[in-house]
């Protein structure tokens, strides 16, 4: 399939897909069961391929690369360091792998890239004057450390029977449903945390760092200030209340840590020869980085639609957004005056 068959690039170098983001049918009324089933089970839906891939990784990591609860019942630097190293390796494999393919080898050039610009070099707003080095620094220091802190403390709580825990054998149906539910819990949590950090005091003190990445790449996903990392990974706290298994908590944190990188890859499709490959379809979040005050969540949970922050990139919605901003600016000036 040629690039022009499913999208177009304008004179400014911005690429837009032919099919614009649409709210999830899961929350529509009356419910349309066929569309809901396709949305959850179909290709590029809720489960397949990305979320199922991350869930399987999480199960494998719990099984083979996580200390036993007997070990985690006592804080020891050894097992905590092991978790930190494992989380950094995950970031290197997923974010680093995508960066290598798309930005170093440039395996498909600019094809399906949302902008015709590559990542910044010799730019003073980034650490080391390099966007990629800046992003990697915040990922493997603050990001991986705070991610690991939430995971280690949660495993300590499980190990000491402080929080409710279930097993697959005791509640198999609930166990499986909660694995799917983690996806929605994380996206709902992300929306409200994201709205919070756009509150001017928090934006100026922390979230501004993430938004230096107007032009995004895989390492931009959890490039955040430590304050934002504390809030972003705080979804793990839900598992201190909801009866769950450690693998649910691990899936929650790995999903937050790795799918952010996938979601910031900056390409609509990852393709090889013959134009076959994976359709990432992250235009919705790319628009957030372009316009800042829209698309705080994910299309799978239509909170942006419900709270009036939805933008699909169409001329109609862009015009409505600009008019809304104009009204807000006038109202602010009148209140100051």
Of 237, 236, 244, residue with least CA distance to 175:
244
C-alpha closest to that of 23 among 313, 319, 304: 304
Mean pLDDT of 166-188: 97
For residue 168 the two structure tokens come to 């697959």
Q: Give pLDDT tens digits for 218-240.
A: 999 999 999 999 999 999 999 99
Nearest to 108 by CA among 286, 268, 259: 268
Q: How confident is the model at residue 23 (pLDDT cuts 50, 70, 90)?
A: confident
CB burial readout 189-212, b (16+ within 10 A) else e: bbbebbeebbeeebbeebbebbeb
> b/e string for 100-120 if b means 16 or more Cβ within 10 A?
ebbbeeeebebbbbbbeebbb
Q: What is the pLDDT of residues 51-105, one digit of tens each?
A: 999 999 999 999 999 999 999 999 999 999 999 999 999 999 999 999 999 999 9
**End-to-end Cα separation, the chain, in angstroms:** 56
CA atoms of 235 and 184, how far apart (whole Å): 11
């Amino acid at each position: 399939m040629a690039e022009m068959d499913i999208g177009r690039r304008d004179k400014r170098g911005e690429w837009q897909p032919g099919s614009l983001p649409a709210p999830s049918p899961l929350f529509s009324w009356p419910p349309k069961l066929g569309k809901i089933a396709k949305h959850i089970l179909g290709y590029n839906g809720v489960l397949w391929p990305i979320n199922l891939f991350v869930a399987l990784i999480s199960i494998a990591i719990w099984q083979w690369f996580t200390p036993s609860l007997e070990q985690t019942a006592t804080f020891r630097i050894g097992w905590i360091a092991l978790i930190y190293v494992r989380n950094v390796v995950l970031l290197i494999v997923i974010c680093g792998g995508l960066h290598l393919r798309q930005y170093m080898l440039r395996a498909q050039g600019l094809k399906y890239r949302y902008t015709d610009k590559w990542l910044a070099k010799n730019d003073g707003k980034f650490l080391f004057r390099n966007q990629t080095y800046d992003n990697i620094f915040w990922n493997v220091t603050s990001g991986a450390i705070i991610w690991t802190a939430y995971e280690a403390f949660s495993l300590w709580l499980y190990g000491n029977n402080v929080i409710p825990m279930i097993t697959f054998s005791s509640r198999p149906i609930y166990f499986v449903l909660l694995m799917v539910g983690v996806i929605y819990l994380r996206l709902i949590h992300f929306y409200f945390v994201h709205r919070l950090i756009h509150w001017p005091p928090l934006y100026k003190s922390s979230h501004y760092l993430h938004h230096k990445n107007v032009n995004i790449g895989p390492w931009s996903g959890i490039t955040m200030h430590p304050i934002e990392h504390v809030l972003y990974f705080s979804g793990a706290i839900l598992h201190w209340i909801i009866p769950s298994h450690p693998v649910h908590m691990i899936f929650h944190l790995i999903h937050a840590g790795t799918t952010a990188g996938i979601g910031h890859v900056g390409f609509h499709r990852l393709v090889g020869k013959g134009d076959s490959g994976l359709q990432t379809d992250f235009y919705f979040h790319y628009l957030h980085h372009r316009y800042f005050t829209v698309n705080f969540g994910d299309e799978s949970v239509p909170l942006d639609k419900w709270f009036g922050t939805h933008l699909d990139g169409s001329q109609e919605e862009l015009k409505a957004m600009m008019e809304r901003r104009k009204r807000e600016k006038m109202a602010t000036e009148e209140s100051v005056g």
